[in-house]
Structure 1
């Protein structure tokens, strides 16, 4: 169970049909899930497309993962994860999202076992034949009932988006841009290509990637440090100014005390002179 041959005679793993799945007991289901490989073969994958392909999906995944974590919403995000729909040939999209699913690490996604299929898929295209992403996958993902499918063409810096008009529909309808952005009802976000990056927006708020958040936090920290240093400098200046004021006041008090002492001394001497004059006047009389 779990291995089939396609129309070309190639053997490849495939999940049982839903009818076969429902006829199994828990132990047999567990054995089937365990037997399905958690990787795909080179024959099933496109040729490696370098850093631009890797960065295109990783940066998008990073921004989405941080956003949903901050929202405290359970969303599973995967990249190049083997996907097993009932009775279908497996595939591994560049990026996928499943809403309201536990975000713990997985080696594969078996739809019958998980209880639901994918909600959102994105393929990143850099070079080579676009037919797989732009034609074949458009038909396949729609037939599987995946609500939204995005194609990020990094070579042309273009974005295409498709959606099912209804949950029952099995043919995609191209999305229309609104002010240069596609509105993803599944993610609750707006998506656009901007300056060689795929950008996600929540209203007017741009979803930052980890490196951008770190850079912003470092900038804020640097600003805080500069303000703290300036406040410390101003405090030191204030302390110095007050010490100078205290010193001046002490000097003024000392000067006043000295002047008071001199005045008292002068008054004492004046009193003594007056007394001496009076004494001499009495004697002369």
Structure 2
């Protein structure tokens, strides 16, 4: 499906961010744009979420997601809507995900042109999707993921309210660590310069004191010679 550079960039970043967030949990599977077959023996019963998260599954590479093999459907799916997909995302796909029992369904419009709201979220209640209300800070909370989704300068930000931290990709985390290390190095260099300046001041004071002592000795010697 054709998509803009912005759409593709934010989609890939979202998957990468979620993968990094769950990297240390071996039973959380994160994927995207993978064919998910949900009726054994019927290859026409297939759907392909842009983003999915499934708890209780081994973290491994898969060619396809076979529901009858995995024993469950994903817990969270997200669609990145475009001009050619937004009607299905709000219609047939939404109905299909509800039928499959997927708990949280989120939609994001990278261009802000097609969905009623740029970011939308739904949670399954009695077999039907109910809209998730704004958390008061412009974000939508997924109970399944325990994460907040926000439209931000990056495009789509993910926030962990427990850790009180914005999620980052591995590259972003590495860059942040490098910036912190650079700032610390600059602070250490500044402290070293301050110490060197203090040492110079102490040396200058010592020289001044020595000069004063020498001058006093000369004066004392002159007085003694006059006697």
The offset of 1:75, in angstroms, is: 2.2
Change (3 A) 1:100 1:264: farther
The answer on 1:131 being equivalent to 2:103 is no
CA–CA distance in 2 between the matches of 1:256 and 1:177? 81
Q: Counterpart in 1 of 2:48?
A: 92
- The reply on whether 1:79 has 2:55 as its aligned counterpart is no
Return the TM-score normalized by structure 1. Answer: 0.67
What is aligned with 2:124? 164
From 122, 131, 148, the equivalent of 1:174 is 131
Q: Is the CA contact 1:49–1:127 (under 8 Å) kept in the aligned structure 2?
A: no
Unaligned runs of 5+ in 2: none
Q: TM-score, normalised by structure 2?
A: 0.82
Alignment of 1:129-278 (within 5 A): 129-156=85-112, 158-166=118-126, 169=127, 171-179=128-136, 180-195=138-153, 197-203=155-161, 205-210=165-170, 212-266=172-226, 270=227
Contact kept in structure 1, 2:26 and 2:59, CA below 8 Å: no
In the alignment, the residues of structure 2 paired with residue 254 and residue 101 of structure 1 have an alpha-carbon distance, to the nearest angstrom, of 84
Return the index of the structure with the highest Cα Rg: 1
Which stretch shows the higher mean deviation, 103-112 or 144-153? 103-112
Partner Cα distance (1:205, 1:77) in 2: 20
- Relative to total residues, which structure has the larger helix share, 1 or 2? 1
Q: Does 1:62 align with 2:20?
A: no
Written as runs of structure 1 = structure 2, the 5 A alignment for 1:27-46 is none
Give the Cα–Cα distance (whole angstroms) in 1 for the partners of residues 57 and 219 of structure 2.
88
Q: Which residue of 2 aligns with 1:106?
A: 62
Q: How many residues align?
A: 217
In the alignment, the residues of structure 2 paired with residue 57 and residue 218 of structure 1 have an alpha-carbon distance, to the nearest angstrom, of: 25
- Mapped to 1, the partners of 2:225 and 2:69 lie a distance apart of 108
Matches of 2:198 and 2:71, distance apart in 1:
68
The CA distance in 2 between the partners of 1:252 and 1:118, in whole Å, is 84
Provide the C-alpha distance between the structure 2 equivalents of 1:257 and 1:106, rounded to a whole number of angstroms: 90
Which secondary structure state, in structure 1, belongs to the residue aligned with residue 101 of structure 2?
Answer: coil
- Structure 1 residue 162, shift from structure 2 partner: 2.0
Asked if the contact 2:28/2:56 (under 8 Å) is kept, the reply is: yes
Query: CA–CA distance in 2 between the matches of 1:121 and 1:80?
Result: 11
Please state whether the residue corresponding to 1:197 is helix, strand or coil. coil
| Contact 2:7–2:111 (CA under 8 A) maintained in structure 1 | no
**1:187 Cα deviation (Å)?**
0.4
